[in-house]
Amino acid sequence: MMEPLKHPSKKSRRDRSCGKSSGRSSRDEAMEQQIWKNLPEDLFEPVIARLPIATFFRFRSVCQRWNSLLSSQSFSLHCAQVKQANPWFYTVTHEHANSGAMYDPSMKKWYHPTISTLPAELIVLPVASAGGLVCFLDIYHQNFYVCNPLIQSLKELPARSVRVWARDAVGMTVNGNSTGAGYKILLVGCDGEYEIYDSLTKSWSHPEKMPSDIKLPLSLNFRSHAVSINSTLYFMHSDPKGIVSYDMATGVWTQYIIPAPLHLTDHMLAECDGRLLLVGLLTKNAATCICIWELQKMTFLWKEVDRMPNVWCLDFYGKHVRMTCLGNKDLLMLSLRSRQMNRLVTYNIASREWVKVPWCLVPHGRKRQWIAHGTAFYPCLSAMA
């Protein structure tokens, strides 16, 4: 009777939470097994095709069957039916030009793929994209490569007789809605000469020069990516300022003389829902701002439709800022840099939303990477080079 009363020992909050979570996870695991083991076989591939693209890097290593889905024709058809909301961005940095970094804006996460089939000594730059494929240019040997960075499907294009110079421009389109029907690559020179690669014939063709109504030479910039709307590619040129287009289906060249906005410095073409846009830096005195213009179809003039918030633009005051557009379709990625600043931002053309991009770090490293080149591409597991 005199024995002290023993109170039940209290568990710490951490132990209680661990116990709850372990119990909950075991029940969930049993429930998941009960559900997924009865999944009909004909629903397996449609479900996998609709998973977030980022999960692809994990499910490939589950088993040989899942890894073999890449060569399944039915799985490719299911993937082609899934429309990706946002493009990804394939970029290269100043210090690691022969290795890329992919950015997923939906998850706000960087990935560092290694294209094992590409010789390590090569330095390749992404110059165009279409249908889930990225076109690379080897700056030393002047060879072109087409690759799907997700599945490392790589193809070296046949050699060309003419050397590619820095003032040439590259554009890429697909035949139809996917790369299954083939793709074409257009290389345009400032002197009016151009070549076209057709993946169906696996060869380059060298048509005649541009028609006489196209004013030459064209001041094209290799770093300013082309914009594709359906089968037509649009390139920006200066002197005179404007746009030159080429329809891959009909073979027709068209030139538009369009005056540029005042105080415009770095600028690139962009596209959203079939509309041509211009993104550029406006610099006046010590103030700098990023503006978005849309091309008016009736007047063929640029009309300002949006600009970066003033609070962000204050960071550019008094600084010599340079801009590079790393993606120009639906979602823009802009690299803004000066001696005192290096920043990446995305701009959603449809929602008019500006978002700062997290720093790109080398795996297991802490050093921030300066993005040198890049292009946007819609990730597609079924796209084959």
Q: What is the pLDDT of residues 12-64, one digit of tens each?
A: 444 544 444 444 555 566 557 777 677 777 787 788 888 888 777 777 777 77
Whether 185 and 246 have beta carbons less than 8 Å apart is answered as no
pLDDT band at 238 (very low <50, low <70, confident <90, very high): confident
What DSSP character marks residue 283?
E
Half-sphere exposure of 72 (CA within 13 A, CB side): 18
Is the confidence at residue 2, as pLDDT, over 80? Answer: no
Q: Output the pLDDT for position 21.
A: 45
Q: Among 318, 363, 323, which Cα is nearest to 344's?
A: 323
Q: Output the pLDDT for position 320.
A: 87
Q: How far is CA 367 from CA 93, 97, 123, 272, 362, in A?
A: 12, 16, 21, 34, 7
User: Using CA atoms, how far apart are residues 156 and 135, in angstroms rounded to an integer?
Assistant: 10
Express as a percent the part of the chain with pLDDT over 90: 31
pLDDT band at 307 (very low <50, low <70, confident <90, very high): very high
User: Using CA atoms, how far apart are residues 133 and 130, in angstroms rounded to an integer?
Assistant: 5
Lookup result for tokens 């998973």 = 51
Express as a percent the part of the chain with pLDDT over 70: 82
As a whole number, the mean pLDDT across the chain is 81
Residue with the larger pLDDT of the pair 54 and 364: 54
Token pair listed for 91: 């970029």
Lookup result for tokens 């590259």 = 170
pLDDT band at 4 (very low <50, low <70, confident <90, very high): very low
What DSSP character marks residue 312?
H
DSSP string over 148-178: ETTTTEEEEPPP-SSPPPTT-EEEEEESTTS
User: Using CA atoms, how far apart are residues 305 and 295, in angstroms rounded to an integer?
Assistant: 10
The angle subtended at Cα 325 by Cα 114 and Cα 233, nearest 5°, is: 95
Instruction: Give mean pLDDT, residues 149-158.
Output: 87
Q: What is the pLDDT of residues 308-351, one digit of tens each?
A: 999 999 888 888 888 888 877 889 999 888 887 888 999 999 99
What DSSP character marks residue 26?
H
Cis geometry, peptide bond prior to residue 105 (ω within 30 degrees of 0): no
Q: What is the pLDDT of residues 118-142, one digit of tens each?
A: 767 777 888 999 988 999 988 776 7
Q: How far apart are the first and last CA of the chain?
A: 85
pTM, full prediction:
0.83
